Amino acid sequence: MDSALFHLALPVDDLDAAAGFYGDVLGCRRGRASPRWIDYDFGGHQLVVHLVERDAMPAVATNPVDGEAVPASHFGLVLSWDAWDALLARFAAHGVAFAIAPQTRFAGRRGEQRTCFVRDPAGNYLEFKCFRNPDMLFATDGLDYP
């Protein structure tokens, strides 16, 4: 498959709060907008937040991963080691609370990565991670995950 851009649309219950998070906190460039949705450049991909009523927000299930209850419905970016550190500093500057604190997952094993989870103001989960060895992102051999 040729390299393609990813498009993700997700519900939010407050467009102004979403704009503050995706624009100000994450630094995503704003694209087209209407009174009911806003486009963002999310790491070179198209993220669209759509305004919905609070009671229409979906529930979140979790799945156990390396001792954490990871939200099964989440999205995010795989960053470089330095960009991940810079993002954590940005979160600290904006007072962003972590849903799952920054940590090293699969320490000392193939696929070792640093990860953290945050929630946007609508409750959508985002994961940001970086791999000690970026070649492990899609590796399938020799992995020993429980």
pLDDT, one tens digit per residue, over 69-119 is 999 999 999 999 999 999 999 999 999 999 999 999 888 877 889 999 999
Cα dihedral 59, 129, 28, 17 sign: positive
Distance CA 95, CA 102 (A): 14
Give residues with Cβ within 8 angstroms of 51, minimum separation 6.
11, 12, 13, 14, 15, 35, 36, 37
Stretch(es) of the chain classified as CATH 3.10.180.10: 1-55, 58-146
Q: Which CATH class is domain 1-55?
A: alpha beta
Nearest to 80 by CA among 131, 18, 118: 131
pLDDT at position 144 is 56
Give residue-wise pLDDT tens across range 122-131: 999 999 999 9
Q: What is the SS3 assignment for 79-123?
A: CCHHHHHHHHHHHHHHCCCEEEEEEEECCCCCCCEEEEEEECCCC
* Cα separation, 115 vs 117, whole angstroms: 7
pLDDT band at 146 (very low <50, low <70, confident <90, very high): low
Question: How would you classify the pairing of strands 74-78 and 125-131?
Answer: parallel
Higher per-residue pLDDT: 57 or 47: 47
Residue 141 has pLDDT above 80, yes or no: no
Residue 143 has pLDDT above 70, yes or no: no
CATH 3.10.180.10 is right for the domain spanning 58-146 = yes
Strand order in the sheet with 7-12: 7-12, 45-51, 37-42, 29-33
What does the mean pLDDT of the chain come to?
Answer: 91
